Amino acid sequence: MGKQTKRSGVPAAPRRMGGRTRPRGPLADDARPARSRRPRPAWAAAEAERRRLYNLFLQAPAPVVLLRGPEHVIELANPPALQVWGRTAGDVVGKPILDALPEVRGQGIKELLDRVYTTGQAHHGTELRVQLDRAGDGRLADEYFTFVYEPTRDAAGTVTGVMVIAFVVTNQVLARHAVEESEQRLEGALAAGFVGTWLWDIPRDVLKADALLAQLFGLDPEQAAAGLPLTVYVAMIHPDDRPRVERLIAAAIATGQPYEAEYRVTGGDNRLRWVVARGHVTYDADGTPLTFPGALADITERKRTEEALRQKQEQLQIALAASETGTFRWNPRTGEFLEFDANLKRLFGFAPDEPVRVTEDFIARVHPDDLPALLPAVDRCRRGADFEMEYRVVLPDGTVRWLYDRGKMERDAAGRPTCLVGACTDITRRKEQEAAAREAAERLRFLAETIPQKVFTATPAGDVDYFNPQWMEYTGLPFAQIRDWGWTQFIHPDDVAGNVRAWRHSIATGEPFQFEHRFRRADGVYRWHLSRALPMKDDQGRIIKWFGANTDIDDQKRALQEKDDFISIAAHELKTPVTGIKAYTQLLQRRFRRRGDTEAADQLAKLDAQLNKLTRLIGELLDVTKIEAGRLPLHEESFDFDALVGEIVEDVQPTTERHRIVVEGATGRQIRADRERIGQVLTNLLSNAIKYSPTADRIVVHLAVDGPGVVVGVQDFGVGIAKDEQAKVFERFYRARGGDRETFPGLGLGLFITADIVRRHGGEIWLESEPGAGSTFCFRLPIAPAVGRRQKPPSAALAPVP
Ligand code: ADP
């Protein structure tokens, strides 16, 4: 409370007189006789002066005290000082200050005096609080002083005491405190929302309001205190609220009922505030309205909170409605619904105005099949349990709806259940989806278990996590033994490595898996299977599962083998007589020519050409069976590649009358390869070029060296091949769609053999083609052979042949 840490004290004699102040001047009230001195003229004058000063001190309107020595013995205390202390001069003079005023001990005054006394420094203090026992009854009262402690000195300048001059400022300080307190109270009141009062003299239309109300209405407080007409106040009310407030005032006057209005006003700070005003009208004996006093509270904050709450509730309602959720409150003791909101009524198929009062009303809608579970649960709630259940309700129109209902029990202080607060959500769709998913899964399982094929699924890491029962039946092994990577145990030892490699490749790249391999049956017999697996991916393209099927192709393989065997035998059997016929044809041809029968000779030449075609077909059939059996031998030798090309072109050229075969470029390379088989490759490509460009007149053979290989391109300007078929033409028996099979006879074997020969030389073959514009079949052969090695195609645009 003390504003100052500086302590008040007793002023020393001011310097202006200090020089002359006698250190040991008799400091007592005037009733006290001074010590006798020898009257001397100089002393006498001094003594007179001193007296004058004493009298001055004594008459000073403010407390003045002179203290002497280190104990601060009171030498003089003028009447105002004595008065404020509540002491007489006899009580205090001649006593050290703490003896005279024991109650100030511990209030820091002695310490302050000590400091002034020892340092000789004056001390000024403001509004220091000192507690004094003025009535002498031990009760302390606050007094406030603004003061100066001034050291007094002797002629030598040594401090001899302290003079205190003080002003009692108790009243001012207390008054200010009162103002501060009331300000604080007002702040508190403002914070609490109470802001103003008014009194309206109705007959004279003078409305007096306090400063706070005036401020709230943006009016001059003095004018408001003096009184203003009602209209001045009303004008400050928000226009939207004004008519309503005016009506309420009129009604209050007319009816005498209490007045209460909530409305907005624009205050002096131009801020819009919500207030609530309450008041009542008084009347005289005749019933004439006299006064209308009232009070007003600022409820802006409350309104804001209310508004925020309302918005939150609205959002909640929207969210609940959107999520098909309704809420309820239920009294477990009486079984009454304290609330069954509109959403919930809709979920249960009640009309909005239909009352849902008690447990039975809601139970009536529950599906009979779910009652055996629901009723005991409701009973448990009556005893205080929470509730959680999925059940069906049957709506009046017969619709069945699934609900998820969950309630939490509220309890009173004693722990007794008071209210079950809960929410119900429509989960019909979820239930339907679940059922559909279950059904779909069932269907799939049924399918997987009934198809003759073996199927499996695997994790993204390649661990097999499902085999259909056909697998267990086939292998005679339990699922636990073949799951994950356990299946490798029944793969034919020759196929395991390739299989694992291909499977790992697919897992790493996500490329479809396809592999032909042999699986061991329970009886130990291996059967050929074709296995395929495809990855299932999520939205982000991540693999979530592999689905695979394994088809037993053993019978087909066997049939194919038998066919191959038959073709092989048939081709062999055909070859001998055809060779014989050819020999006789040539013999006859020569004989006719010698005899000059040119016509017959020419006819025999045509027969010979047909025989050549037949021989080639038989040769193809033989080659294919050899390839299938892995028995197509290569006889490598070194030869001049360009010379071979020239030779073949020369051989093939006579088979066409339309086309001219042109060789462009050269390799200038000796290569090491099977000369005859490479010749066969060139013959095949040239024959196809002729066959599939019946209206063109030109075929170009391009020769080039590309790094470690020679590259040949056989270009025709014929029918071309559709994009989607380009890779397939190298397959066995594949014949492209388009085109007329009659026009282009063939077995679909030539390119299969051609590709096999090229690849077995470590080369590669590819093609570029545009339907209607022609095709270019290219192949590359390594100059020094590296059997089994494959190289990349020269351009990304050219698809490598698998
Ligand atoms: P085929 O005996 O049918 O000619 P091939 O294996 O030589 O058998 O060719 C396979 C298929 O590729 C042919 O049926 C044909 O449709 C297509 N084909 C081959 N060469 C050409 C080419 N130069 N132009 C257009 N299509 C061709």
pLDDT band at residue 13, thresholds of 50, 70 and 90? Answer: very low
The answer, yes or no, to whether any atom of ligand 1 lies below 6 A from the CB of 735, is yes
If one residue of 624, 688, 743, 744 were mutated to test the ligand 1 pocket, choosing by the most ligand atoms within 8 A of its CB, it would be: 688
Tell which residue, 162, 154, 168, has the closest CA to residue 9.
162
Residue 466 near residue 457, CB atoms below 8 Å: yes
Q: Tell me if 392 sits within 8 A of 366, measured CB to CB.
A: yes
3 state DSSP class of 297: strand
Check residues 661 and 219 and name the one with the higher pLDDT. Answer: 661
Cα 284 to middle of ligand 1, angstroms: 123
CA-closest candidate to residue 718, choices 655, 776, 660, 654? 776
| 567 contacts 617 by C-beta, under 8 angstroms | no
Q: Ligand 1 within 6 A of 474 CB?
A: no
Could you tell me if the CB of 393 is within 6 A of ligand 1?
no
Sorted by sequence, the CB contacts under 8 Å of residue 801 that are 6+ apart come out as 727, 730, 755, 764, 765, 766
Question: pLDDT at position 188, please?
Answer: 58
What's the pLDDT score for residue 239? Answer: 92
Residue 614 · residue 745 · CB < 8 Å? no
Q: Between residues 712 and 727, which one has the greater pLDDT?
A: 712
Give the Cα separation of 59 and 66 in Å (integer).
14
**Which of 721, 732, 778 most suits a substitution to test ligand 1, by most atoms within 8 Å of the C-beta?**
721
Cα 571 to ligand 1 centroid, rounded to whole Å? 22
Give the pLDDT band of residue 9 (cuts 50, 70, 90): very low
Compute the distance from residue 609 Cα to the ligand 1 centre, in Å: 20
Q: CA 45, 51, 57: angle at the middle one, nearest 5?
A: 140
With a cut of 50, say whether residue 197 has pLDDT above it.
yes
pLDDT per residue as tens digits for the range 346-402: 999 999 999 999 999 999 999 999 999 999 999 999 999 999 999 999 999 999 999
- Model confidence at 741: pLDDT above 70: no
| pLDDT confidence of residue 69 | 93
Q: How far apart are CA 125 and CA 109, in angstroms?
A: 11
Q: What is the pLDDT of residue 121?
A: 93
**Each residue's pLDDT tens digit, 693-722:** 999 999 999 999 998 899 999 999 999 999
- Cα(657) to centroid(ligand 1), Å: 20
pLDDT digits (tens, 9 = 90+) for 527-550: 999 999 999 999 899 999 999 999
Q: What is the predicted pLDDT for the residue at 631?
A: 80
User: Which protein residue has the closest C-alpha to ligand 1 atom 7?
Assistant: 750
Q: What is the mean pLDDT of the chain?
A: 86
183 pLDDT band (50/70/90 cuts)?
A: low
Report how far residue 735's alpha carbon sits from residue 722's, in angstroms, rounded to the nearest whole number: 12
Does 683 sit in the ligand 1 pocket, CB within 6 Å?
no
The more confident residue out of 550 and 1 is 550
Mean pLDDT, range 186-197, rounded to an integer: 63
Report the C-alpha gap between 456 and 542 in whole angstroms.
Answer: 19
- pLDDT value of residue 272: 85
In terms of phi and psi (left: phi > 0; alpha: psi -120 to 50; beta: otherwise), the region of 136 is left
Q: Counting atoms of ligand 1 from 1, which one is nearest the CA of 739?
A: 16
- Rounded CA gap, 474 and 461, in Å? 25
What mean pLDDT is predicted for residues 302-330? 85
Q: Is 721 in the pocket of ligand 1 (CB under 6 A)?
A: yes
* CB of 419 sitting under 6 A from ligand 1: no
Q: Which residue has the tokens 């052969």?
A: 781
Q: Looking at the predicted structure, is the pLDDT value of residue 616 above 60?
A: yes
Of the candidate ranges 231-235, 260-264, 308-312, 530-534, the one whose mean pLDDT is the lowest: 308-312
Residue nearest to atom 8 of ligand 1 (CA): 748
- Using the atom order of ligand 1, give the atom closest to the CA of residue 693: 24
Best of 690, 692, 714, 743 for a ligand 1 pocket test (most atoms within 8 Å of beta carbon): 692
Q: What is the pLDDT of residue 511?
A: 94
Determine the Cα angle at 224 with ends 218 and 228, to 5°. 105
Is residue 747 in contact with ligand 1, taking CB distance under 6 Å? yes
| CA–centroid distance, residue 735 to ligand 1 (Å) | 6
- pLDDT-wise least confident of 211-225, 338-352, 394-408, 598-612: 211-225
The alpha carbon of 729 and the centre of ligand 1 are apart by a number of angstroms equal to 7
Give the pLDDT confidence score for residue 32 in this predicted structure.
45
**Which atom of ligand 1 is closest in space to residue 749's alpha carbon?**
6
Closest atom of ligand 1 relative to the 774 alpha carbon: 24
Nearest CA residue ID for atom 17, ligand 1: 736
What is the per-residue pLDDT for 785?
Answer: 58
pLDDT greater at residue 122 or residue 787: 122
Q: What local confidence, expressed as pLDDT, does residue 436 receive?
A: 92
pTM for this entry:
0.44
Gap from CA of 678 to ligand 1 centroid (Å): 18
Mean pLDDT of 172-184: 75
> 476 pLDDT band (50/70/90 cuts)?
very high
Of the pLDDT bands very low, low, confident and very high (cuts 50, 70, 90), residue 27 is very low
- CA distance linking residue 125 with residue 114, whole number of Å: 15
| Probe residue for ligand 1, chosen from 690, 730, 751 as the CB with the greatest number of ligand atoms within 8 Å | 751
- Note the pLDDT of residue 743: 65
Q: Is 11 in the pocket of ligand 1 (CB under 6 A)?
A: no
Is 49 or 187 the better-scoring residue by pLDDT?
A: 49
Q: Residue 221 — very low, low, confident or very high, per pLDDT cuts 50/70/90? A: confident
Q: Is 751 in the pocket of ligand 1 (CB under 6 A)?
A: yes
Ligand 1 centroid from CA 582, angstroms: 27
Coil/strand/helix, residue 632: coil
Give the span between the Cα atoms of 634 and 276, in whole angstroms.
109
Query: pLDDT category, 189, cuts 50, 70, 90?
Result: low
Contact between residue 245 and residue 272 where contact means Cβ atoms under 8 Å apart: no
Q: How far is CA 591 from CA 19, 578, 582, 598, in A?
A: 174, 20, 14, 10
Task: Return all residues near 632 (Cβ < 8 A) that are at least 6 apart.
Answer: 623, 626, 756, 757, 760
pLDDT of 71 higher than 50: yes
Rounded to the nearest whole angstrom, what is the distance from the C-alpha of residue 314 to the centroid of ligand 1? 75
Q: pLDDT per residue over 623-650, tens digit each? A: 888 888 778 888 999 999 999 999 999 9
CA of 652 to the centre of ligand 1 (A): 17
Residue 793's pLDDT is: 36
- Is the CB of 755 within 6 Å of ligand 1? no
Sheet holding 464-467, edge to edge: 464-467, 454-458, 543-552, 526-537, 513-520
Q: Is the per-residue pLDDT at 768 higher than 60?
A: yes
Q: Which of 685, 729, 754, 757 to mutate to test the pocket of ligand 1 (most atoms within 8 A of CB)?
A: 729
Ligand 1 and 748: CB distance under 6 A = yes
Average pLDDT of span 420-443:
91
Is residue 722 within 6 Å of ligand 1 at its C-beta? no
| pLDDT higher than 90, residue 11 | no
Given a contact cutoff of 8 angstroms between Cβ atoms, the answer to whether 253 and 202 are in contact is yes
Q: Using CA atoms in the order 341, 345, 350, 352, what is the torsion angle rounded to 10 degrees?
A: 40
Task: Characterise 596 by phi-psi region: left (phi > 0), alpha (psi -120 to 50), beta (else).
Answer: left
Measured by CA distance, the residue closest to atom 2 of ligand 1 is 746
pLDDT more than 70, % of the chain: 90
Q: Which atom of ligand 1 is nearest to the CA of 689?
A: 23
State the Cα–Cα distance between residues 313 and 551, nearest whole angstrom.
63
Return the minimum-mean-pLDDT range out of 248-252, 447-451, 595-599: 447-451
Query: What are 206's strand-pairing partners?
Result: 201
Region 454-467: mean pLDDT is 94
Our answer on whether the CB atom of 688 is closer than 6 Å to any ligand 1 atom is yes
Nearest CA to ligand 1 atom 11: 735
Residue 728 confidence (pLDDT) above 80: yes
